[in-house]
Structure 1
Amino acid sequence: MTRSNAREVAVHMIYELGFGSRSAEELLEHEMTRERFAQLGEEEPLYAQFPNEKQRQYIRDLVQGVYVHGPELDDYISRYSVGWSFARIPRMAAAVMRTAMYEVLYMPAIPNSAAINEAVEIAKNYEPAEVVSFINGILGSFVRAEFADSAPKPEKKEEDAAGPEEPEE
């Protein structure tokens, strides 16, 4: 499983958290098993390979972090989605933006540009082009406005910033 795939798995879980039926820990407990991945992998190639330990930790960090910081992340989304009420934003788009914003704010090893680029690539799989452009615009505005006075995170290859792309089973 690649780091990009691990991020997309986390986005799926963050999307599911948006329905409010389970806590992050309950969701992770249910979803992060070899059996669940095998079951999902029958229909969704993203789940064909169970993540290695580093990737599982990354998924856990993202899902738990977005869960804990949800109101803050939603406030940022609302602030930068000029002309849109938060209720109008598709749930998957919100999950993608929450994930990227969490990475920008709380995962210093991941460059801002990598968080945004990955968010846009994931969104392309689930949303129409105009929503993908909307996501890109919000995330770009967020980073430019919130980090205008600070030095940018060092640009690293994502492999260095977020762990190896190859499985470590």
Structure 2
Amino acid sequence: MKLTARRQARELALQILFQTEFAPQISFKTFLEVFEQSLDAEVTSYAETLVQGVQSNKEKVDAKIQASSAHWKVERMATIDRNILRIAVYEMKFASEPIKENIAINEAVEIAKKYGTTDSASFVNGLLDQVGKAY
């Protein structure tokens, strides 16, 4: 899978995870269907893998984030930042084929620059660096 396809998949997964926090009664598959016609099957497939992976490992993913965050509770983090972190931690630590930490961190930082606040990229970078060092 090309890097651009993976980036698109991560961004789509972020959008779906964000939406499911506000409308948990709606299945993530419903949100995914909205995008399926306009995106490559490779993108939607990997996005689905990420969303399912984050959701099925949410407690463990959040525990790793919390253990590396001295000053922020996971539930108090900005929704965008929290879900960017979840995707990256899932890919680094829980995916069936984990990706290298530096790649996961770089991807998360780039997505944070695009979707987060002016502080998101440095927050995500610092926290994921701690996750990588801690485990």
The TM-score by the shorter chain falls in which range?
A: 0.7 to 0.9
Aligned length: 131
List aligned pairs for 1:8-47, cutoff 5 A.
8-19=11-22, 21-22=24-25, 26-28=27-29, 30-33=30-33, 36-37=34-35
Of the three residues 103, 106, 130, the one matched with 1:114 is 103
Higher alpha-carbon Rg: 1
Answer whether contact 2:68 2:134 (CA < 8 A) is retained: no
List aligned pairs for 1:113-152, cutoff 5 A.
113-146=102-135
CA gap 1:49/1:3 in 2 versus in 1, 3 angstroms: farther
Answer whether contact 2:105 2:125 (CA < 8 A) is retained: yes
Of the three residues 39, 56, 59, the one matched with 2:47 is 59
CA gap 1:87/1:32 in 2 versus in 1, 3 angstroms: closer
Structure 2: tracts of 5 or more residues without a match: none
CA RMSD for the aligned pairs? 2.1
Ranked by relative contact order (alpha carbons within 8 Å, sequence separation 6 or more), the top structure is 1
How far did residue 61 of structure 1 move? 0.9
| Residue 94 in structure 1 maps to residue 94 in structure 2 | no
Answer whether contact 2:57 2:94 (CA < 8 A) is retained: no
Separation in structure 2 between the aligned mates of residue 131 and residue 55 of structure 1, nearest angstrom: 24
Identity across aligned pairs (percent)?
31
Residue identity matched to 1:37: F
Structure 1: tracts of 5 or more residues without a match: 39-47, 147-169
Separation in structure 2 between the aligned mates of residue 64 and residue 116 of structure 1, nearest angstrom: 20
How far did residue 105 of structure 1 move? 1.1
Can you list the C-alpha shifts for 1:117-161, whole angstroms capped at 9, x where unaligned? 111110111222322211111101101110xxxxxxxxxxxxxxx
How far did residue 20 of structure 1 move? 5.7
**SS of aligned partner of 2:70:** coil
Q: Which aligned runs of 4 or more in structure 1 are off by greater than 3 angstroms?
A: none
Answer whether contact 1:6 1:51 (CA < 8 A) is retained: no
Answer whether contact 1:17 1:67 (CA < 8 A) is retained: no
Q: Higher helix share goes to which structure?
A: 2
Can you list the C-alpha shifts for 1:44-77, whole angstroms capped at 9, x where unaligned? xxxx94122x322211111011011111111111
